Amino acid sequence: MRDAHRPAPTRDLDSPDEIAEMVRRFYQDVAQDDLLGPMFNDVARVDWSEHLPKLTAFWCRALLGLQGYMGNPFRAHALIHQQASFTPAHFQRWLALFHETVEMGWVGPLAQRATDLADNVARVHSGQLIGEQVEFAGYASS
């Protein structure tokens, strides 16, 4: 949902600082989202000051090949799913917010790679957790 008054992005996700900014913007929206916020804040009880650096490290490894990420994203999501089941709507909303965040702030091959990877992560995790491979279906209404 691109803001018509906002200039088109000119930067790519080609540095740790750009990736950190994307992660911060995206998860700020996630934490405040009516559907996703409760899963992160109430069920998972995410400590954002600890979690954002881990998420930044994940995306820096994925997009720039940088070392530093340690973790098992699927295991973390499986533990949450045991407490409160994910639905296709959770994955679709996550993807819509991710695409929107990237497309409103960044452009280029690494920005495209980020959205492609997010699509794959959502497809694999949803298939394993809920038995349905969720695809990006466009932007969710705010």
In a domain, 142, yes or no: no
What single DSSP character describes residue 73?
A: H
d(CA 7, CA 132): 37
Measured N-to-C along each axis, helices 88-105 and 109-130 cross at an angle, to the nearest 10 degrees, of 170
* Tens of pLDDT, residues 85-141: 999 999 999 999 999 999 999 999 999 999 999 999 999 999 999 999 999 987 655
CATH number of the domain bearing residue 52: 1.10.490.10
Tokens linked to 37: 């916020």
In a domain, 11, yes or no: no
Is this model's pTM higher than 0.85 or not? yes
In a domain, 99, yes or no: yes
d(CA 138, CA 85): 23
In a domain, 98, yes or no: yes
The domain of 27 spans 16-65+72-130
In a domain, 106, yes or no: yes
Q: State how many domains the chain has.
A: 1
* Tens of pLDDT, residues 13-67: 999 999 999 999 999 999 999 999 999 999 999 999 999 999 999 999 999 999 9
In a domain, 10, yes or no: no
In a domain, 136, yes or no: no
